[in-house]
Structure 1
Amino acid sequence: MKKIFSRIIFITFLIIIVVCFKVNASTIFSNEGMEGFINKNIELMIFLTLLTVLPMLIIMTTSFTRIVVTFAFLKNASGLQNAVPSVVLIGLSIMLTFFIMFPVGQRINNEAIVPYINKEISTKEAYDKGVIPLKEFMFTQTRKDDLDLFIELSKYEGEVTAIAVPMTTLMPAFALSEIKTSFQIGFLIFIPFLVIDMVIASILMAMGMMMVSPAIISLPFKILLIVLVDGWKLVIKSIFLSFGGV
């Protein structure tokens, strides 16, 4: 298995090199010379590398983590592991992430992307302006204790503001804070379903039916509870309000 994986990586690396060479082969004999050829190849390889890291960066800098972990708690607490496919929950998490992050994305588009497309600002200026709305969102949602932890670990001694704190320090603090928040929401989700399990287990023991699994009997009551209180709506609304939505 390791040999197959190593071969796949090696073949992928060769393909990237071939693509880089083909795209820029004509520049070798142009006025830019060999220096321009090498620079463009390096830029292309960096771009292709960033594409592989981009999904992880999007997950760790948006509301996706809190949403998908909360849905996982709801799925496990209700006992609906097989009824609700994981791909459905991930798709719903992505849609809610777009909904929650829309104001941030709109600011990034207006302040960085549009001016960059119109060639009004450079690439560095576009990054500096585009990252500000994202950092402000992350800074607002990050607990002070988590941020202080990574500031101490990174030995950062500058000003503690959304703009000043480095992205390398803010990102792990934000991710840790998101996981903590989702666990708190998950605890509250588990309580009513745990009560149902305890009641069903007590009834079965009183009836002498100790060999019957309480999970089988309690599952219909859990589904009924979700339907009666509109559980999915309550969870989604709670997630949205946890980000400061109104």
Structure 2
Amino acid sequence: MKLATTLIFLLAGVAAAGAQSLGLDGLLPSGGASASGRIVQIVAMLTILSVAPGLLMMVTSFSRFVIALSFLRSGLGLQSTPANLILISLALFMTFFVMAPTFDKAWQNGVQPLVENKISEGEAYTKITEPFRDFMLTQTRPADLRLFADIAPQSIRPTDPTQSVDLRILIPSFMISELRRAFEIGFLIALPFLVIDMIVATVVMSMGMMMLPPTVISLPLKVIFFVLIDGWNLLIGGLVRSFS
């Protein structure tokens, strides 16, 4: 009896729900754009969110940090210490620290007014990308910028020095500039450890210990050397100051 009563109530609820029609207007926000335009905007937003990690690496300081930290681990001769998760997390939080003024400007000038419906999507895009454009311009080498400007299609090539550089030119120029600086920093990081490896190998060979791998002795020496000079403080401080 209880089961039958429960089924009757369930069927009544389904019938009442079926009597109500679900219109497309209830799913899409009100505004001047048509339903198809709103759907395109939603798809574009989901696409941007899916490639957000790639955008983080392309237009921020993340790549310089993570490459320099990778050079440090290779120079020390440690294969998995610190772990990739630790290095990426450290590079990520250092990126947030360096990019904080840029993020704040993008939020205050673009994202927040857009959420409050004070500006349109096109104006919000301009105001959001402007802080990142300024940051990338200050960190991009003129030679790299000229390279992509020269090989760019005529439609996006800047013709006036006062004209703003298109992001399709600026972003790859910024990326190769970051790779160059990261490898320069990586060379300076790896050089002291290379000297230690050479000294240890020379001493081991001169003592006739052919069967003893030099890395067995050089590894603890490199680790204690890095700790004694307060290497983490020097490295992180130098990386952050390289963006000032």
The TM-score with structure 1 as length reference comes to 0.82
Q: Which residue among 59, 62, 65 is the counterpart of 1:64? A: 62
CA contact (8 A) 2:66 2:87 kept: yes
Asked if structure 2 preserves the Cα contact closer than 8 Å seen for 1:158 and 1:164, the reply is no
Shift of 1:142: 0.4
Alignment partner, residue 178 of structure 2: 178
Matched, 1:209 2:239: no
1:74 aligns with 2:72: yes
- Residues 1:109 and 2:107 aligned together: yes
**CA separation in 2, counterparts of 1:106 and 1:167?**
20
**Are 1:91 and 2:89 matched, yes or no?**
yes
> TM-score normalised to the size of structure 2?
0.83
Structure 1 segment 15-26 matched on structure 2, within 5 A: 26=23
Instruction: State how far apart, in whole Å, the 2-side matches of 1:38 and 1:109 are.
Output: 28
- Partner letter of residue 167 of structure 2? M
Amino acid at match of 1:93: A
Equivalent residue number for residue 137 of structure 1: 135
Matched positions, count = 216
Q: Which residue of 1 aligns with 2:165?
A: 165
CA contact (8 A) 2:63 2:179 kept: yes
Q: Judge conservation of contact 2:158–2:164 (CA < 8 Å) in 1.
A: no
**Superimposed CA distance per residue, residues 178-208 of structure 1 (whole angstroms, 9 cap, x where no aligned partner):** 0000000000011110110001000100111
After TM superposition, give the deviation of residue 153 of structure 1 in Å.
1.0
Distance (Å, rounded) in 1 between the aligned partners of 2:46 and 2:203:
60
Q: Which residue of 2 aligns with 1:12?
A: none
Change (3 A) 1:69 1:43: same
Work out whether residues 27 and 36 of structure 1, in 8 Å CA contact, stay in contact via their aligned partners in 2. no
- SS in structure 1 opposite 2:23? helix
Deviates more, 1:78-87 or 1:58-67: 78-87
Give the alignment of 1:213-224 within 5 angstroms.
213-224=213-224
The question of whether the paired residues in 2 share the 8 Å contact of 1:113 and 1:130 is answered with yes
Structure 1's consecutive aligned runs of 4 or more residues displaced over 4 angstroms after TM superposition are none
Deviation at 1:124, TM superposition (A): 0.8
Q: How does 1:23-34 map to 2 (within 5 A)?
A: 26-27=23-24
Provide the rounded CA distance (Å) in 2 between the counterparts of 1:110 and 1:41. 27
Aligned-residue RMSD, C-alpha? 2.0
Question: Which ranges of structure 1 fall in alignment gaps of 5 or more residues?
Answer: 1-24
User: Is contact 1:196–1:222 with CA below 8 Å preserved after alignment?
Assistant: yes
Query: How many Å apart are 1:116 and its aligned residue?
Result: 1.8
- Verify: 1:239 aligned to 2:244, yes or no: no
Q: Identity rate of aligned residues, in percent?
A: 39
CA deviations on 1:209-234 (whole Å, 9 max, x unpaired) are: 12211112100000111110111111
Once the two structures are overlaid, the 10-residue window that deviates more, 196-205 or 41-50, is: 41-50
Q: Displacement of 1:160 after TM fit? A: 4.2
Please state how far the C-alpha of 1:54 moved relative to its aligned partner. Answer: 1.8
Deviations along 1:30-50, one digit per CA (max 9) or x if unpaired, are 9x9xx9443333222222222
Distance, in Å, in 2 between the alignment partners of 1:159 and 1:115 is 31
Unpaired runs of 5+ residues, structure 2, are 1-21
Contact 2:63–2:178 (CA<8 Å) still a contact in 1? yes
**Does 1:48 find its partner at 2:49?**
no
Aligned equivalents of 1:199, 1:183: Cα separation in 2: 24
Aligned-pair distance for 1:28?
7.6
* C-alpha deviation, 1:82, in angstroms: 2.1
What's 2:122 paired with?
124
CA distance in 1, matches of 2:50, 2:90: 23
